[in-house]
């Protein structure tokens, strides 16, 4: 690999993204919406860190502690924006997207 190619790859970051809510709130999310409309939850330097975070979010949210925390505090941003089932759907459909992904352009 040429040095300029490796430098370009090093600049790519990763976004943990979740689908937007549907306008009427049911069935909670729109996983078919264009990726540029999805919500960025967190930024990462490496794809494997992003993937690991999705796995952690899923395991925690499905745990008894995660369920109790959701009932007490809301979603990962501290808001009650969707029912718990919708929250699970957002995590189940979460994706790690490269910051240079062409689908992010409007």
Q: Provide the pLDDT for residue 24.
A: 72
Query: Could you report the per-residue pLDDT of 24-71, keeping only the tens digit for each?
Result: 756 678 999 999 999 999 999 999 999 999 999 889 888 888 887 777
Contacts 24+ apart (CB under 8 A), 18-21: 18/90, 18/91, 18/93, 18/94, 19/90, 19/93, 21/81, 21/82, 21/86
Q: DSSP E strands: which ranges in 1-106?
A: 14-18, 39-44, 95-98
CB of 93 closer than 8 Å to CB of 31: yes
The reported pLDDT for the residue numbered 36 is: 96
Q: In the structure encoding, which two tokens stand for residue 82, read together?
A: 């969707």
**Greater model confidence, 80 or 95:** 95
């Amino acid at each position: 690999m040429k040095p300029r190619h490796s430098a370009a790859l090093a600049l790519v970051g990763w976004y943990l993204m979740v689908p937007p809510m549907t306008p009427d709130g049911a069935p909670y999310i729109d996983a078919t919406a264009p990726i540029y409309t999805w919500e960025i939850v967190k930024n990462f330097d490496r794809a494997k860190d992003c993937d690991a975070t999705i796995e952690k979010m899923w395991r925690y949210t499905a745990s008894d502690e995660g369920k109790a925390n959701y009932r007490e505090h809301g979603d990962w941003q501290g808001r009650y924006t969707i029912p718990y089932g919708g929250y699970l759907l957002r995590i189940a459909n979460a994706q790690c997207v490269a910051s240079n992904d062409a689908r992010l352009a409007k």
